[in-house]
Amino acid sequence: MYTLYRRTGTASYAVEVLLEELGVEFERVNVVNETGHQSLAGLKQLNPLGEVPTLIAPGGTVMTESAAIMIYLADAHPGAGMAPAASDPARAAYLRWMVYLATNVYMSYRHMYQTYGYVPEASLYPPIQEMARNTIIEEFQQIEDALSPGPFVLGDRFSAVDIYLAMFPDWHTEPEQLLSRFPALNRLCTTVNARPSIARVRANG
Q: Which residues bind a copy of itself (CB under 8 A)?
A: 48-49, 55, 57, 59, 61, 63-65, 67-69, 71-72, 75-76, 78, 86-87, 89, 91-93, 95-96, 98-100, 102-103, 106-107, 111, 117-120, 127-128, 130-132, 135, 142, 145
Which of 199, 198, 168 has the alpha carbon at shortest distance from 10? 168
Q: Residue 193 Cβ, how far from a copy of itself at the closest point, in Å?
A: 25
Minimum Å gap between C-beta 73 and a copy of itself is 10
Select 40 or 68, whichever has its Cβ closest to a copy of itself: 68
**CB proximity list for 34: less than 8 A, separation 6 or greater:** 40, 41
Extended strands (E) in the chain: 2-6, 26-30, 54-56, 62-63
For residues 143 and 99, give the distance between their C-alpha atoms in angstroms, rounded to a whole number: 12
8 A C-beta contact, residue 114 and residue 129: no
Q: How far is the CB of 57 from a copy of itself (least distance, A)?
A: 5
Specify the residue, 36 or 78, whose C-beta has the smaller distance to a copy of itself: 78
Written in H, E and C, the secondary structure of 12-31 is: HHHHHHHHHHHCCCEEEEEC
Least gap, CB of 83 to a copy of itself (angstroms) = 9
Residue count (the chain)? 205
Rounded-to-integer distance, Cα 46 and Cα 50, Å: 8
145 or 170, CB closer to a copy of itself?
Answer: 145
- Closer residue to a copy of itself (CB): 48 or 205: 48
Whose Cβ is closer to a copy of itself: residue 26's or residue 100's? 100
Shortest Å, Cβ 42 to a copy of itself: 19
How far apart CA 50 and CA 43 sit, in angstroms, is 6
Minimum separation from the CB atom of position 192 to a copy of itself (A): 21
C-alpha–C-alpha distance, residues 197 and 185, integer Å: 19
Q: Toward a copy of itself, which CB reaches closer, 142 or 193?
A: 142
